[in-house]
Amino acid sequence: MVNTCIVSGCKRESYPGCGISFHRIPANEKQRALWITSMNLDNNMSKFACVCSLHFNQDDYLTETKKKLKPEAVPSVFPKIFQGSKKTTVLSIQNMELESSIQPSTTSDITQAGTSCERGGSSSKYDVGISGELSSRKVKQEETSTQMQELKNTPRKAKLRRDVKVLKQKLKRREIKIGNLRSILNLLKKNAKF
């Protein structure tokens, strides 16, 4: 059975060799309520719902070698989520650093930077380093898209794609064989009427 993490924005699945353990939501009502509130989820989920090990700290486990949670452990590691138009994507820490790099400046900085913008008529101004900021944003976006492609191209998904391709080929060959056998059968029926 394939387990999928129910934390919003995390779509990790279990497969052999993935290195991630999955933990079911506790049946104990108090512990279950703690988990649900920490993850901002509804209470109407399956009893088989799981959370992956990436949402727990190292000190939440009983031992370092085996991925068994302490009875009082609650998921506490959640990435920042950006709601896109069609997909939910996880923002990397690098993008958050990029947003925080815009700082207030003084008038002497404005003459050095060459470009500035005023905010709503107030006297505070913000530097907009066009060439440096745009190139660093492009690099960050390319890194993020590469990371997303790496997540899409897991070994399990590649194997499943190959399996689908092979099954489609088998189906196509079988349909051709059935068509050939039907035409032979029709020829035999015509020849048998003599």
Average pLDDT, the chain: 70
Residue 14, in any domain of the structure: no
Residue 12, in any domain of the structure: no
Residue 9, in any domain of the structure: no
- Domain edge (last residue) among 79, 100, 122: 79
Segment 45-70 shows an average pLDDT of: 76
Higher-confidence residue: 110 or 148? 148
Segment 49-76 shows an average pLDDT of: 75
Higher-confidence residue: 150 or 59? 59
- Number of folded domains that form the chain: 3
Q: What's the confidence (pLDDT) of residue 150?
A: 62
Query: pLDDT band at residue 18, thresholds of 50, 70 and 90?
Result: confident
- If asked whether residues 107 and 141 sit together in one domain, one would say yes
Residue 7, in any domain of the structure: no
Which structure tokens are listed for 152?
């899409």
- The CA distance from 39 to 36, in Å, is 5
- The CA distance from 9 to 15, in Å, is 19
- If asked whether residues 148 and 158 sit together in one domain, one would say no
Query: pLDDT band at residue 38, thresholds of 50, 70 and 90?
Result: confident
Q: What is the pLDDT of residues 81-140, one digit of tens each?
A: 444 433 444 444 444 444 444 444 444 444 444 444 444 444 444 444 444 555 666 666
Q: What's the confidence (pLDDT) of residue 57?
A: 76
Domain that holds residue 159: 154-194
Q: What is the pLDDT of residues 176-190, one digit of tens each?
A: 999 999 999 999 999
Q: What's the confidence (pLDDT) of residue 94?
A: 44
Write the CA distances from 42 to 4, 12, 36, 89, 98, integer angstroms.
Answer: 17, 20, 7, 21, 33
Write the CA distances from 174 to 145, 164, 165, 170, 178, integer angstroms.
Answer: 40, 15, 14, 6, 6
Write the CA distances from 120 to 74, 117, 124, integer angstroms.
Answer: 44, 10, 9
Higher-confidence residue: 65 or 58? 58
